[in-house]
């Protein structure tokens, strides 16, 4: 189990990572975004396995809540940036699929 400071440190690391993820999404650096997301997922798994249900002291609880709000704000902005890109990607994939089906059907 993790102590209070370790828990806060992991949340801080996640907040930092999601900030880096946001920066990557802003410049459309999708490879870096995916790599950073994997690191963030590792931290989530660490918390799921090791964070105790014990109440944090009020000051640490306030820090944790502030970091969670920051992480969620980063996530929201990342989704706002990645959703249009995902739509573009889906259009390209569908277009390539349609071209392939036409080529198969008409022997291009």
Predicted confidence (pLDDT) per residue in 50-64, tens digit = 988 778 899 999 999
Least trusted range by pLDDT, from 11-15, 29-33, 81-85: 81-85
CA–CA dist 14, 56 (Å, integer): 18
CB–CB of 21/40 below 8 Å? yes
pTM (predicted TM-score): 0.77
Pick from 71, 89, 85: nearest CA to 20: 71
CA–CA dist 65, 26 (Å, integer): 25
CB–CB of 7/49 below 8 Å? no
Pick from 11, 6, 5, 10: nearest CA to 71: 11
| pLDDT beyond 60 at 26 | yes
Binned at pLDDT 50, 70 and 90, residue 97 comes out as: low
For the segment 72-100, the average pLDDT, to the nearest whole number, is 81
């Amino acid at each position: 189990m993790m102590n209070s400071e370790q828990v806060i440190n992991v949340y801080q690391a996640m907040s930092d990572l999601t900030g880096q993820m946001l920066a990557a999404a802003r410049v459309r650096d999708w490879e870096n975004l995916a790599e950073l997301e994997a690191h963030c997922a590792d931290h989530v798994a660490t918390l799921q396995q090791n964070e105790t249900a014990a109440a944090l002291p009020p000051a640490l609880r306030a820090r944790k809540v502030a970091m969670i709000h920051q992480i969620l704000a980063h996530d929201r902005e990342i989704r706002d940036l990645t959703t249009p890109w995902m739509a573009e990607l889906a259009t390209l994939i569908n277009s390539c699929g349609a071209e392939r089906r036409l080529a198969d059907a008409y022997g291009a």
